[in-house]
Amino acid sequence: MTHAIDAARLRLILNDLRLPAIKECWPTIAEQSDKEGWPAARFLASLAEHEIAERDRRRIERHLAEAKLLPGKTLDSFDFDVVPMISKAHVMAICAGDSWIKSGANLILIGGPGGGKSHLASAIGFALIENGWRTLFTRTSDLVQKLQVARRELSLEAAIAKLDKYHLLILDDLAYVSKDQAETSVLFELISARYERRSTLITANQPFGEWSRVFPDPAMTLAAVDRLVHHSTIFEMNVDSYRRRAALERKQQGAGRPPGRATINDSELLSRRDNQLPT
């Protein structure tokens, strides 16, 4: 009877202390401790380790939900063999995030459509979350539209400040932002606000020399590139489109031909179609 009262009281105490993992696991661990004759320090350490592990699991689950990452796009599913200019070891080091995230450095992925930029960006975001950092993945055009609404409501500064909680902001498809001055100005304000404070990852289909298509003002283009490139790592992913390769392989297999080089007509047709697709 006394044991039952003590156990009930302990559950209430653990609730008040907000230790739900210990509340669930302590009877099992206590039974094991009694059987094996653990010292008190080992018993307490085991309880604390379970609580920390459960908190980490809940944190990762919560941060993954808010990050809006692309489903299934992880480092395990990224084919480094088809992007030989990208070092897997370098990417794995980046995913630790310890040095460059703390200093607000940036990542820039440049290459044609279908080269795996969005996949790699999302995979890096996923790995960073597992290592304790917070990330947000968004199409650049979607975020720009939200910031424009905030500007009209005179709350742009507050909206940009809310993004500070993310150690890494992933802006996918920079090139698809309109050349409208109002749109590009809020994007520039975001880039400037995060400069040397919070990290930004950019994916873009065009090299820097063609970013005037995004920022119509030459001075704004130069300033934006300068802020992004300073303290940045740049990956140039100039490879054939994954979507085009996959489509060619499906077409060849469907026609009963072994996978191989496409005919000129196939390549031209798929190239035209692929150019209409975002990364």
Q: Using one digit for the tens of pLDDT, what is the confidence trace for 178-195?
A: 667 777 889 889 999 999
Residue 149 belongs to a domain: yes
The count of structural domains within the chain is 3
| Alpha-carbon separation of residue 279 from 82, 117, 159, 204, 270 (angstroms) | 16, 7, 27, 9, 15
Are 51 and 169 contained in the same domain?
Answer: no
pLDDT value at residue 206? 83
Is residue 73 situated within a structural domain? no
Question: What integer best gives the mean pLDDT of the chain?
Answer: 84
Q: Are residues 175 and 101 located together in one domain of the fold? A: yes
Q: Is there a single domain that holds both residue 255 and residue 202? A: no
Per-residue pLDDT reduced to its tens digit, 130-182? 999 999 999 998 999 999 999 999 999 999 999 999 999 999 998 766 667 77
Q: Are residues 62 and 21 in the same domain?
A: yes
d(CA 136, CA 94): 17
Quick one: which of 77, 74, 67, 28 has its CA closest to 50?
A: 28
Q: Is 133 within 8 Å of 167 (Cβ atoms)?
A: yes
Domain boundary among 67, 96, 115: 67
What's the pLDDT at 197?
Answer: 94
Are 100 and 205 part of one and the same domain? yes
- What is the predicted pLDDT for the residue at 29? 93
| Cα–Cα distance measured from residue 99 to residue 94, given in angstroms and rounded to the nearest whole number | 9
What is the value of pTM for the model shown? 0.77
pLDDT of residue 174: 85
- Model pLDDT, residue 278: 39
Q: For the chain, which residues score pLDDT lower than 50?
A: 1, 257-279
